[in-house]
Amino acid sequence: MEIKNENFKALIQSCKEGDYIGQGNPDSKILIIGKESSIDNETQKQLEIGNNWKQWQNDELENGYHPRYCYKHITTRFGEGQRFLIAPKNGGTSATCYVYQKLINAIYPDVAVKKNEVLNFFDHCFITELSAVSRSNNNKLEDDDIKATAKSIKERTSLLSSAFYRSFPVVILFCGHYPKQYDINIEEMFDVKWESPTKDFELANKKGWYNIHYSEDKQRIVIHTWQASAFVKNKEEHVQDFFNKII
């Protein structure tokens, strides 16, 4: 697999086994950052997170999986307002991936995925997480979870501040109040400045919010908003309108 992004190649060389770098297309123009993965199965956690660096380094499939084509075989029953489980249980996808696909459909309508087609968002963005500690969707954040998440975020700050992650023209932080909760300085991490004030928008009949940050030359934008699953009930055209306003 040929990757052109020299910053990504340098990052791979500077990382080590166990480091979580991300999934998707390193040569794309959009970086998506979530809070953390939500994976219950320990084997799957190791496959997608624990072995991530090794898979990029060796550029080999592991049990049919590669982070460049992370969800290539998931068929999506793409429908308004539905929340799906990760395949293969019912052939659908998670709420988060469902929203990522909505986002890519909005930005790149020529490659938009229709109902019952396979996901393709990983071809048009790169995805990573603030924390490499995965947790269950149903798991409330107990003290131990909070400590583990805080430790992981602190350890990953220098990695996420590297030239590769700063090279994307568009960065979307779907992480809600994590920056405040875990003392994450977005401006320092991405070398950008916040454009005051915080903006509001309608989100499934509720008030949503987002913050915009720009690089000094205005060539890069960092958008900080709710976690992705909060967008799942919005109609696709509403998601498209939202992102058309800010990208």
Q: pLDDT digit string (tens) for 10-40?
A: 999 999 999 999 999 999 999 999 999 988 7
Q: Residue 148 and residue 132: Cα distance in Å, rounded? A: 9
Query: For residue 147, what are its two tokens?
Result: 């400590």
Rounded to whole angstroms, how far apart are CA atoms 226 and 59? 33
Indicate the SS3 state at residue 67.
helix
72-87 per-position pLDDT tens digit: 766 555 443 343 333 3
For 163, other C-beta atoms within 10 Å of its C-beta total: 12
Separate counts of helices (H) and strands (E) for the chain: 9, 7
Query: Residue 65 has which token pair?
Result: 């999986």
- The CA distance from 223 to 209, in Å, is 10
What pLDDT score was predicted for residue 122?
Answer: 93
Helices 95-107 and 236-246: angle between axes, nearest 10 degrees: 60
The residue-averaged pLDDT of 114-141 equals 83
**Rounded CA gap, 6 and 81, in Å?**
39
Residue 239: pLDDT over 60: yes
Report the distance separating Cα 75 and Cα 164, nearest Å.
Answer: 30
At residue 103, the pLDDT reads 87
pLDDT tens across 148-183, in order?
A: 999 999 999 999 999 999 999 999 999 999 999 999
Instruction: Supply the DSSP symbol for 73.
Output: T
Taking every pair of C-alpha atoms in the chain, what is the biggest distance, in angstroms? 47
Do residues 71 and 204 lie in contact, with contact meaning Cβ atoms separated by under 8 Å? no
Please name which of 247, 194, 198, 245 lies closest in space to residue 226, comparing C-alpha atoms: 198
What is the mean pLDDT of the segment spanning 99-113? 87
Sheet holding 193-203, edge to edge: 23-24, 126-129, 30-34, 170-174, 221-225, 206-214, 193-203
Joined tokens for residue 222: 């960092």
